[in-house]
Amino acid sequence: MRRSECLQPVCVALIAAAALALLGACSSVAPVRTAPQRMQAIEANKQAAALFERADYGGAVAKYREALMLERAIENEDGIAIDLINLSIAYQRLGNRDAAHAALREILESPFLRFPVQRIAEAAFRSAVLLLEAEDVAAASGALARARAACVEPGCALTGHLLNVQAQIFLLGKDFAGARALAEQALGINRQRGETAEQANSLRLMGAALLELDQKDAAQRAVIESLAIDKGLSQPVKILRDLRLLGRIAAAREAKEEARGYHERALAVARATGDREATADLERLVRDRP
């Protein structure tokens, strides 16, 4: 598996809670209301998330940028960081890696704003994912180290995600036993936390590592489970990765018809999602198979 994982937008609260201050038996103040800009930013984020779920990544970018401008107007650092991270994810889905990196650099390199440490960790994690997509292992390792340093909260929500990234780094470095062990550890954490999408990422990484370790049956079981999760979550990009990996596993098992079936299914998904690179690769693979 070469491409990075974990492409879901950061969740944003739908509405801020109002606070009521009582100053004594005979006096009180009106509820503190959410600023209009915040309400507008929250609404723009909801619309962006809906567009992202429909795979309208261009529309999502426009709405996330709208929310970002509203957050900038009131210097809400947490909201700014969330919007920049979501922009990065949407830009990545559009194939615009430069814009995706630039959005994260605003968080990681800002000399002026003080972003919450949780957002620093998320931005560094996203940076590692992007760098792994380009197979820049050294830079990805540096970004991962920064994410770990910022992931200081007890039971940090990113722990399973970071283990998956490290497992992918090990895969690229051909430490297949290390990759399998890390992915298995990540799977346990992600299951405990109910991180369903991340469980599929762990299983896919395990499958890729197990294939390289010549444990083909175990590899197939892991990826079939990953595929079931991704289909349940309607994740076409990840379904494509699962099917391609299952095709590789079947080919390694010399199950030619099974491999062809997985590649044909992957080709249909690639065409449906408009992934021209994957479509071209799979068309060659299907054409050249005996």
Which of 1-5, 159-163, 190-194, 264-268 comes out lowest in average pLDDT?
1-5
Q: How far is CA 238 from the centre of its chain?
A: 11
pLDDT at 162 > cutoff 60:
yes
Q: Is there a domain that residue 254 lies in?
A: yes
Assign 34 a pLDDT band (cuts: 50, 70, 90): low
- Among the three residues 135, 162, 191, which one is the final residue of a domain in this structure? 135
Q: What is the DSSP string of 112-165?
A: S----HHHHHHHHHHHHHHHHHTT-HHHHHHHHHHHHHH--STT-TTHHHHHHH
Pick from 79, 104, 93: which is nearest to 51 by CA? 93
Which of 24-28, 49-53, 107-111, 268-272 comes out lowest in average pLDDT?
24-28
- Among the three residues 135, 158, 183, which one is the final residue of a domain in this structure? 135
| pLDDT tens sequence across 42-88 | 999 999 999 998 889 999 999 999 999 999 999 999 999 999 999 99
What does the alpha-carbon distance between residue 39 and residue 197 come to, in Å, rounded to a whole number? 29
- Whether the CB-CB separation of 79 and 43 falls below 8 Å is answered with no
Q: What is the residue range of 285's domain?
A: 235-290
- Whether the CB-CB separation of 72 and 80 falls below 8 Å is answered with yes
**How many C-beta atoms lie closer than 10 Å to residue 274's C-beta?**
10
Q: Is there a domain that residue 29 lies in?
A: no
Q: Is there a domain that residue 273 lies in?
A: yes
**How many C-beta atoms lie closer than 10 Å to residue 63's C-beta?**
24
| Largest separation between any pair of C-alpha atoms in the chain | 87
Which of 34-43, 85-94, 172-181, 209-218 comes out lowest in average pLDDT?
34-43
Write the CA distances from 164 to 130, 141, 171, integer angstroms: 14, 12, 10
Q: Is there a domain that residue 128 lies in?
A: yes
Angle made by CA atoms 77, 81, 83, in degrees to the nearest 5: 120
- Among the three residues 94, 117, 135, which one is the final residue of a domain in this structure? 135
What phi, psi does 226 have (nearest 5°)? -60, -45
Q: What is the DSSP string of 71-96?
A: HHHTT-HHHHHHHHHHHHHHHHHTT-
The pLDDT of residue 28 is: 39
pLDDT at 3 > cutoff 60:
no
| pLDDT tens sequence across 236-289 | 989 999 999 999 999 999 999 999 999 999 999 999 988 899 999 999 988 877
Q: Is there a domain that residue 279 lies in?
A: yes
Assign 126 a pLDDT band (cuts: 50, 70, 90): very high
CATH number of the domain residue 110 falls in: 1.25.40.10
Q: Is there a domain that residue 9 lies in?
A: no
What does the alpha-carbon distance between residue 263 and residue 277 come to, in Å, rounded to a whole number? 14
How many domains, in total, are found in the chain? 2
Q: Average pLDDT, stretch 11-29?
A: 32
H-state helical runs in the chain: 36-53, 57-73, 77-93, 97-108, 117-133, 137-150, 159-172, 176-193, 196-212, 216-232, 236-252, 256-273, 276-288
- Whether the CB-CB separation of 181 and 164 falls below 8 Å is answered with no
Q: Is there a domain that residue 80 lies in?
A: yes
Amino acid at 229: I
19 bridge partner residues: 32
Q: Is there a domain that residue 214 lies in?
A: no
The pLDDT of residue 290 is: 62
pTM: 0.83
pLDDT at 218 > cutoff 90:
yes
Q: Average pLDDT, stretch 145-164?
A: 90
What does the alpha-carbon distance between residue 140 and residue 128 come to, in Å, rounded to a whole number? 4
